[in-house]
Chains A and B, each alone.
Chain A
Amino acid sequence: EIVLTQSPATLSLSPGERATLSCRASQSISSLLAWYQQKPGQSPRLLIYDASTRATGIPARFSGSGSGTDFTLTISSLEPEDFAVYYCQQRSTWPLLTFGGGTKVEIK
């Protein structure tokens, strides 16, 4: 099973700042990675798939990069609605899909 390790666990930033979130895979997964956002009391929302492609309706301030084992989600300038928990998910070993443990982006 591929393990996805997200860091940091918590990121404390102010609105307008840049957020950089990391997801590391225990073995190479090419670019077969997605990012999701989850706000309290809500279900996850797909942000990025195939490591760098924004899903429909996702603002351009969200970008993804990386391949192999190291991936990054960048939020260029945090808006108030961006404070949430972010998860990565790999599809390299379908049908066994695995998720990272999450990074919480909180207001500093």
Chain B
Amino acid sequence: EVQLVESGGGLLQPGGSLRLSCVASGFTLSGYEMYWVRQTPGKGLEWVAFINSGGETTYYTDSVKGRFTISRDSAKSSLYLQMNNLRVEDTAVYYCARDMGLYFISWYLDLWGRGTLVTVSS
């Protein structure tokens, strides 16, 4: 089955760190660009980070630049999001998602994981 499965979410205090993981199965992760997208009841869906298939190119939304790092390990079919200096406003369900294009970037997301909840609260 083609799927993405996230893990690593949890409850933590402002200023803390967390590493999210996303394991891909049923397809070859190395052929695809990947994203992290978060969702909150208040702000809806928000793109967070992007990494190209080779891992050399990354982009981030402004609010997480300098705090979050996206990375990937093709040997482990895994995508990661290292989240440092977390803020209350980072509270959300975090999804990993796959770009629709195989060996090209479409900037559309055709496969999403079930998400992992990150709660930042004092």
Residues of A in contact with B (beta carbons under 8 Å apart): 32, 34, 36, 42-46, 49, 55-56, 87, 89, 91, 94-102
Contacts and interface: CB of A to CB of B under 8 A. Distances in A.
A94 B115 contact: no
Task: Decide if the interface of chain B is mainly helix, strand, loop or mixed.
Answer: strand
B13 to A, nearest CB: 27
Interface stretch (B24-32, B72-80, B81-89, B101-109): B101-109
By secondary structure, the A interface counts as loop
Interface string B106-122: 11111011110000000
Contacts of A55: 100, 110
B45 A87 contact: yes
A46 B110 contact: yes
A45 B45 contact: no
Contacts of A44: 45, 95, 109, 112
A91 B59 CA distance: 14
Interface residues of B, number: 20
A34 to B, nearest CB: 5
Contacts of B110: 46, 55-56
Closest 6 CB pairs of A and B: A91-B107, A95-B59, A43-B112, A99-B45, A97-B47, A49-B108
B105 to A, nearest CB: 8
A98 B47 contact: yes
Contact of B44 (A42, A45, A99): A99
Given A49-B100, A96-B47, A96-B61, A43 B108 contact: no
Task: Tell me which of A46, A55, A89 has the highest count of chain B C-beta atoms within 10 A of its own C-beta.
Answer: A46
Instruction: Kindly name the residue among B45, B47, B114 whose own CB sees the greatest number of chain A CB atoms within 10 A.
Output: B45
24 contacts: A32-B107, A34-B108, A43-B95, A43-B112, A43-B113, A44-B95, A44-B109, A44-B112, A46-B109, A46-B110, A55-B100, A55-B110, A56-B110, A89-B108, A91-B106, A94-B105, A95-B59, A96-B59, A97-B47, A98-B47, A99-B44, A99-B45, A99-B47, A102-B45
